[in-house]
Amino acid sequence: MADKLTASSADEASGDGSSHETLVRNDVLNGLLQFKYTVAVVCLFGVTVALLLQIATRTLNVSVPGLQALAQLLAVWMAFLLIGNLEVEDKHIRVNYFAEKLPAPVRSVVDIAVLSLSALWAAIIFVAAVLGSLASAGTTIPTLGVPTFVLHAAPLLGMLLLTLAYLAKIKTSLAECLGFEEGTRVRN
C-alpha cells in the first residue's frame, strides 16, 4: 500500500497544490516503514544471537543471566514493529473467500465493519499497554536491569501505528463507499 500511496501521489503531482504535501507525507510514511523494518531485522538478529549464546553457554555450563529475557524483549519489539507495517502494506493474513462472494455495496460495508472492529481491538490493546506501563512504572526487568517500560513501549508504538493504519483504511473505504475519490473534496 505504501507503494500505491506513492504512485497515487505521483499521479496527483500534476494536480492541485496539496499534491506536494501528499508526496512529502508519503515519503515520511515510506521512511518510517523502512526504519521499522530495519529495526525489526536488528531485533531478529539480536534474538538469534541471544538464543545461540544461551545454547552455547548452557553447553559450557556457564551462566549468563538475562539472555532469555533479552531474546524475549527483542522478539516482542520485532512483532509489534512489524504488525503496523504489514497492515499498511496489505501483507497480513486474511480469508476473503466469503467476502469476495458478496455484492460490491455489501462487501464495502463488511470491509468497513471488519476494519472498525480491528481498529477497536488495536485501540484496546494500546490502552492495555498504557495501563501496563503505568502499573510497572519504576520497575525493571530483573535479569536485564532494563526499565519495564522498554517492554511496554513496543505494544504502545506498534498498536498505535496499527490503529492509525486501520483508521486510514476506514477513511479510504468510507470515501470509496460514498462515491468520493481519495483526495477530492465535495464542493457545494
Which carries the bigger pLDDT value, residue 7 or residue 132? 132
- Domain borders along the chain are 18-61, 64-178
20-54 tens-digit pLDDT: 555 556 777 778 788 888 888 999 999 999 999 99
Kindly give, in sequence order, each residue whose CB lies less than 8 Å from that of residue 111, ignoring residues fewer than 6 positions away. Answer: 99, 173
What is the share, in percent, of the chain residues with pLDDT greater than 70? 80
Residue with grid cell 502499573, as numbered in its chain: 135
- The model's confidence at residue 105, banded by pLDDT at 50, 70 and 90, is confident
| C-alpha dist (Å) from residue 56 to 50, 59, 60, 67 | 10, 5, 6, 11
Polymer length of the chain: 188
Quickly list H helices, the chain. Answer: 2-12, 19-59, 67-88, 97-101, 104-135, 149-177
Region 89-103: mean pLDDT is 76
How much is the pLDDT for 19? 59
Region 102-122: mean pLDDT is 89
Burial of 36 (0-12, 13-18, 19+ CB in 10 A): buried
Query: CB of 1 within 8 A of CB of 89?
Result: yes
Residue 97 has pLDDT above 80, yes or no: no
Residue 9 has pLDDT above 70, yes or no: no
Region 145-161: mean pLDDT is 88
Region 75-100: mean pLDDT is 80
Give the Cα separation of 98 and 102 in Å (integer).
7
Region 168-181: mean pLDDT is 83
Residue 127 has pLDDT above 90, yes or no: yes
- The model's confidence at residue 120, banded by pLDDT at 50, 70 and 90, is very high
Residue 121 has pLDDT above 90, yes or no: yes
Residue 128 has pLDDT above 60, yes or no: yes
- The model's confidence at residue 89, banded by pLDDT at 50, 70 and 90, is confident
What is the share, in percent, of the chain residues with pLDDT greater than 90? 21
